[in-house]
Amino acid sequence: MGERPARAGTLLLLRHGRSTTNAAGRFTGWTDVPLASEGVHEAERAARLLARDGLLPDVVHTSLLRRSIRSADIVLAGLDRQWIPAQRSWRLNERQYGALTGRRKHDVRAEAGAGLYDHWRRSLHGRPAPLPAPDLVRLRADPRYATLRPDAVPAVESQADVTARVVPYWADVLAPRLRTGAVVLVVAHGNSLRALVTVLDGLDEAGVQRLDIPTGAPLRYDFDPDLRSVARGGTYLDPGAARAGAAAVAAEGHRLPLS
Ligand SMILES: O=C(O)[C@@H](CO)OP(=O)(O)O
């Protein structure tokens, strides 16, 4: 058995840069949309922040969706670390938003009311209607999910469902790597990262409900040797920008986007 490092590694969480559907104010979920040009700039800026703090990842983890993969590629190019191993998993995908997928958040909020909108969007157990059957059939035929049992490709997920699929990824993949002292970069999505933070910080239901993750804002977690986070909530590398970004995410759907 090797020696246990004096402290475990560093976890860097990054929500992908703004996507085209984020910019249009639409629910996105498992739809595979590209980054908006602003999202490319956000990822480039994230790389500069990581470089500023000397945070050079040893390994990167992404979802199977191109907005996370592209963001990770941009960050690693900015750090001259494109050679590090990459691991991709559906477990890091965005929450499956079911029938809300593709709909404008502003329209959903106006139709359903603020209470139901917030329940669907941010509560732990709120679950909108499922994806229409033809869309689900198409999704289950997508080759990127070919190794999954078809019923593992969800028709809709609550935030609790997302947490349930993220927990094994934390326990079986990320945590063992951090225990080796590695710097681990995870580039994923608003709700899969909310799920990870729920586990890292032991959030209760109210904490989950209040949590918003801004796009393109690196969030750092350091751990003690027992892999307990040393700072609750982690540390954003640019706290001011992260606060403003999180507030903008929280307010999505309240107004129509300008573009
Ligand atoms: O649309 C989505 O899939 C997510 C993230 O972009 O939205 P929300 O922040 O409303 O959960």
Average pLDDT per block of 10 residues along the chain, 259 residues long: 70 98 96 98 98 98 98 98 98 98 98 98 98 97 94 96 98 97 98 98 97 98 94 97 98 84
Neighbours of 180 (CB within 10 A): 14
Distance, CA 192 to ligand 1 centroid (Å)? 10
pLDDT score for 167: 98
Residue nearest to atom 7 of ligand 1 (CA): 27
What's the rounded Cα separation, in Å, for the pair 91 and 94? 9
The verdict on the CB of residue 97 being under 6 Å from ligand 1 is yes
Is ipTM beyond 0.90? yes
Q: What is the DSSP letter of 152?
A: G
Query: pTM of the predicted model, to two decimals?
Result: 0.96
Residue 236 bridge partners (DSSP): 219
User: What ranges do the domains of the chain cover?
Assistant: 10-250
Q: Tell me, what's the pLDDT at 1?
A: 46
Catalytic annotation present for 3? no
What DSSP string describes 100-154?
GTTSBHHHHHHHH-HHHHHHHHHSSS---PPPPHHHHHHHHT-GGGTTS-GGGS-
Q: Binding residue per annotation — 21?
A: yes
pLDDT tens-digit map of 30-45: 999 999 999 999 999 9
Across 144-175, b (16+ Cβ under 10 Å) vs e yields ebeeeeeeebbbbbbbbbbbebbeebbeebbb
State whether the Cα torsion 235-15-128-22 is positive or negative: positive
Q: Write down the pLDDT at residue 2.
A: 53
| pLDDT at residue 72 in the model | 99
Query: For a substitution probing ligand 1, which of 16, 18, 121 has the most ligand atoms within 8 Å of its CB?
Result: 121
The CATH number assigned to the domain with range 10-250 reads 3.40.50.1240
Collapsing DSSP states into helix, strand and coil, what is residue 190? Answer: helix
